[in-house]
Amino acid sequence: MSDLLPMDRVRVISTGEELVVSSAHYICLESGKPRQMFSICRFVPEGETRPLFYADECELIHRHDFRPYKGIRRCECGDVYTTMADHMPPRGDVTWQ
């Protein structure tokens, strides 16, 4: 498995644990070939580090297909993750630098 995206649901093959991908931009080069790694959406107590998982050790369970729905974007599975803020006009004047 590779090319995971944020908010994908995956299952760790060795343990069966189901996880939700938070950030999937990590790459491990220790084995000589690039392996995608990802962090997960889970509360981490202060002082602890967020664990990383290898994408090729997981199987994709569900990838959300976000569609507009009354001012938010949601998947047909019913999970709601984001507003449509990228389509909303800015509140004040915008300056480009």
DSSP one-letter string for 10-35: EEETTT--EEEEEEEEEEE-TTSS-E
Burial track 36-60 (b if 16+ CB lie within 10 A, e otherwise): bbbbbeeeeeeeeeeeebbbeebee
| Tens digit of each residue's pLDDT (9 = 90 or more) over 33-91 | 999 999 998 888 888 888 899 999 999 999 988 887 777 778 888 876 665 555 566 66
Q: Is 4:36 a contact under the CB 8 Å cutoff?
A: yes
| Residue 67 vs residue 5, higher pLDDT | 5
Residue 96 has pLDDT above 90, yes or no: no
CA-to-CA distance for 78 and 48, rounded, in angstroms? 32
CA-to-CA distance for 97 and 86, rounded, in angstroms? 19
pLDDT at position 44 is 80
pLDDT at position 2 is 52
Phi, psi (deg, nearest 5) at residue 42: -160, 145
Full-model pTM? 0.70
pLDDT at position 1 is 43
